[in-house]
Chains A and B, each alone.
Chain A
Amino acid sequence: MKELLMGNEAVALGALAAGVQVVSGYPGTPSSETLETIAKRNPGNVYVEWSVNEKAGAEVAAGAAYAGARSLVTMKQMGLNVASDPVMCVNYIGVKGGMVIYVCDDPGPISSQTEQDTRSFARYAHIPCFDCDSPEQAFQAVQDAFAFSEEKGTPVILRSTTRVCHACADIDVPEIKAPEPPDGFVKDPQWVIFPKLAYEAKLRVAGREEELSGEFSEYKGNTIEGNGPIGIACGGISYAFVKEAIRGHEEDFTVLKIATPYPFPKELARQFLLGVEKVLCFEELDPYIEDALIYEYGNLSLEIDNFIEGKRTGTVCLGGELSAAEVGSVIEDVTGIETSIPYQEPADTPALPVRPPVLCAGCPHRGAFYAVKKAVGKKPAIFSGDIGCYTLGNAAPLDMVDTCLCMGAGITLAQGLDHAINGLGNEGGAEEPTTAFAFVGDSTFFASGITGTVNAVYNQSDMILCVLDNSTTAMTGHQPHPGMGVTMMGERVEPVDIEKLLEGIGVKSIRTVDPQNLAQSVGAVESAMEEKGVRAIIFKSPCIALIKPDEPKRVDAETCIGCMQCINEIGCPGLITKNAKATIDTSLCTGCGLCTQICPVNAIG
């Protein structure tokens, strides 16, 4: 039956069609829908889990593959950094069942800290890599990746990017059958990594490049289309942009599409290079295909001026997303062929809305940030933020995120800041010490915050850890985590209790408060600031997207004095100005009541 499937859903159904048996992963935009779809469409005996982080997920998948199961682990590109320890090593060990590591890159970036390219990681790690250029092709690629992985006994990376992950296409989905049970684990020294074995493995994984490259030159996903004089090399979503840009001028071009970036299909690339007069490379993130072509160009001893153009020559922008318009305009600039679709940048538009993402109306994080801000007042303090919805606490008027780096880093950055500022930088304690705050969400705390907290306690740090516990992984679409007591197999289980966990680690001062109760929360922060050592405050209130909202609040226009303190203090999108008074957008207001606690004349109720 034909279904409209998102790229990530296509990968999920393709994996099920390939007989996947164990699926793990950690949520992260743009990858999260894959695992959710497998859980939703589970034919019955596929094991699915949201792992505590990507490292755990990759290890679960590797273990299953050792036992002959087909396994899939999903993550975003940032997650591959977390998982890189097991991923690098399992490539040396090899697998028995097919193991596919599905990594979604984020050109732009749209929802990430870096613009890293998983194709380059695959080359560095010597792991074969398949790329996705459309949902329909991704559906096939994941099945090819499983077959290849199992045949070669190697983990395989399947890479995709946002515009493929979150594009939808109509795809014929076959009936999904429940997979056969795996063969089982056979004890053997091959599963135990030691330096001697690692040396031999290195020779094997680096040495197989030639053979696999030869096979990939024959792979049906790698193609050369057309026989025009201008060569265009591309892969992934940029292939779609190229096709769109050269529509109607196909006879002028030869298009090389790379669907297996590593090992690079050299033979096919040479055939392409020898058939064209000039090469333009279009790809997002790294100039990966471009570099591989430059290498082959060198091997062929070609000497043609300005032969290969792309990111290395400054012809294509080094960062950000590509588009059909951008590709068209570069082709036109370089070749003079009028391919770009004409469009006019409209003149004299009125002032347009500036609309960065914000914490939702009624979001409990707003109360937590505001309480800390009030309690701190003018005293010196640094606020280390983290990855999740609460990164949005950086925006005015809260302005409560001074640093943000990567998952869990706020807790450990705060320790470094404290040592440098209050220890080394304030010898003798002449100045008033700066209080180091770290804000971390519940899911991020489980994923990457626990080790940092142990570090703080054991190494005698002086900091206040604020756990913003909204009982979900909100930013990526409300996935469950170990604190919630429900698994992806639908079981109700004992949740991991953050307060008990902190106690067990040795945090002596722990307070749990409701961030929607301003007086209680401010009080808790004030008392914590009077103490020393590692103190924790758990701000506990569920994400507003998961609960039924209360009646919206209303502003009594008679009473409102138009001081705008409510808007200027907390910046809730539910509060707007009208006729020089505050008013409430009842379609957004959840009735959380934070603004009622701020209004100096009690006009909101």
Chain B
Amino acid sequence: MSEKEVKSCLLCGVGGQGTVLASRIIAAAAMAKGLRAKTAETIGMAQRGGSVVSHVRIGEAIASPTIPLGTADVMIGFEPGEAAANIKYLKEDGVLIVSSKQVKPVTASLGQSAYDGEECLAWLKENVGRCIVIDPDEIMEACGSPKVLNVAMTGALAQTGAMDLGIEDMEEALKIRMKPKLLEMNKKALQMGAQRAAER
């Protein structure tokens, strides 16, 4: 990376899905590689099942921890509707990695609002140049836990090369951030995410 270059990744989802940990893993991977990193997170009331957004930026020249609209190199959407809601952050030729599974908000269950995850996913596939879809059920079945989805997403991110970080950088970060007994399961998730990205 050149001195003036900045790489940005926006993560969005629903409180409790592990966006904060994913953003820390990406930042740790960058730092392990000797790059500078900044993040900004939603913490507080919104974490109670509300919409959450994390920003990760890598490079020497970062001023703001939050990503200016229209400049994210890559976006990780943990939920299709949340990805669609934040798509304005993604730059024109940016990459989207998105979970196919909708999380239905209470407002929709109560009939106060209309929301269809399938429809949002179709719209994203139609409107985003490179859209990598991750099926969380498939990851869960293979790895044995729903909690590794975030790591699988970072695996897909590494595969795209959009943040100048590779699988080995992410593995390094996992070693720093994860308890040893969870490491193998997470490495597997990382590989699976990368594989899905390679297929698209």
CA gap between A360 and B16 in the complex, in Å: 10
CA gap between A169 and B24 in the complex, in Å: 11
B28 close to A4 (CB less than 8 A):
yes
Interface string of B44-56 (1 = CB under 8 A from A): 1111111100000
A243 within 8 A of B: yes
B88 close to A345 (CB less than 8 A):
yes
Instruction: From known contacts A343-B88, A355-B14, infer whether A168 and B119 are also in contact, taking CB-CB under 8 Å.
Output: no
Contact among B44, B46, B64 for A244, CB-based, below 8 A: B64
B112 within 8 A of A: yes
Interface string of A299-337 (1 = CB under 8 A from B): 000000000000000000000000111001000000000
A163 within 8 A of B: yes
CA gap between A571 and B110 in the complex, in Å: 7
Interface string of B110-131 (1 = CB under 8 A from A): 1011111001100100010000
Task: Note all chain B residues with C-beta closer than 8 A to A359.
Answer: 48
Q: Chain A: interface residue count, which band?
A: 35 or more
A167 close to B65 (CB less than 8 A):
yes
B115 close to A243 (CB less than 8 A):
no
A170 within 8 A of B: yes
A341 within 8 A of B: yes
CA gap between A572 and B46 in the complex, in Å: 16
A324 close to B68 (CB less than 8 A):
yes
Task: Note all chain B residues with C-beta closer than 8 A to A397.
Answer: 110
B193 within 8 A of A: no
B64 close to A353 (CB less than 8 A):
no
B64 close to A357 (CB less than 8 A):
no
Most chain A CB inside 10 Å of its own CB: which residue of B66, B79, B127:
B66
Task: Note all chain B residues with C-beta closer than 8 A to A166.
Answer: 40-43
A243 close to B69 (CB less than 8 A):
no
B113 close to A353 (CB less than 8 A):
yes
Contact among A4, A328, A575 for B109, CB-based, below 8 A: A575
Smallest CB gap from B118: residue in A: A350
Instruction: From known contacts A351-B114, A354-B112, infer whether A343 and B70 are also in contact, taking CB-CB under 8 Å.
Output: yes
B82 within 8 A of A: yes
B39 close to A110 (CB less than 8 A):
no
A89 to chain B, nearest CB (A): 31
CA gap between A342 and B68 in the complex, in Å: 10
B107 close to A356 (CB less than 8 A):
yes
Task: Note all chain A residues with C-beta closer than 8 A to B115.
Answer: 351-354
A35 to chain B, nearest CB (A): 15
Q: What 8 A-B pairs are tightest by C-beta distance, nearest first?
A: A343-B70, A243-B63, A167-B65, A29-B44, A357-B50, A353-B81, A111-B44, A324-B68
A interface vs B, CB < 8 Å? 2, 4, 29-30, 110-111, 134, 163, 166-170, 237, 239-241, 243-245, 247, 323-325, 328, 341-346, 348-360, 389, 392, 395-397, 475-477, 567-568, 571-573, 575-577, 587
| Given pairs A111-B45, A353-B105, A577-B109, 4 additional interface contacts (CB within 8 A) | A325-B69, A346-B87, A351-B113, A351-B115
